[in-house]
Amino acid sequence: MEPSPEDAIKLLKEKGKEAFETGNFLKALNLYTEAISIESESESLYANRSFCNLKLGKLDEAMSDALKAVALQPTWSKGHYRVGEVFWAMKNPEEAIAYYQQALELV
């Protein structure tokens, strides 16, 4: 019997978290991408994949996912924090600080 979409997403998120925590960022990225193919409106999946892309040095992809997380849930502080992290990695501290401040205001 196939797992429900919700159970599949939960399992993929758990496996993605485990892979990330062990430093296997590419595996984590692929697991989060698979979860997004099931549930494309989850801000946390995009934020998690953004962090994987950031760790892999894929800054454009990291930014795209972070902005998608913000678009899906504008009042979620973690999305804004992720955008700030990417701007920081892109050596754009002014934009990073603006997003960090916005994240703090949403906490």
Q: Walk along the chain (107 residues) and give the pLDDT tens digit of each residue.
A: 888 999 999 999 999 999 999 999 999 999 999 999 999 999 999 999 999 999 999 999 999 999 999 999 999 999 999 999 999 999 999 999 999 999 999 99
* φ, ψ at 82 (rounded to 5°): -60, -40
**Alpha carbon distance 90, 84 (integer Å):** 10
- Written as one string, the DSSP assignment of 39-71 is -TT-HHHHHHHHHHHHHTT-HHHHHHHHHHHHH
Residue-level pLDDT at 3: 86
Residue-level pLDDT at 104: 98
Structure-block tokens of residue 34: 């698979």
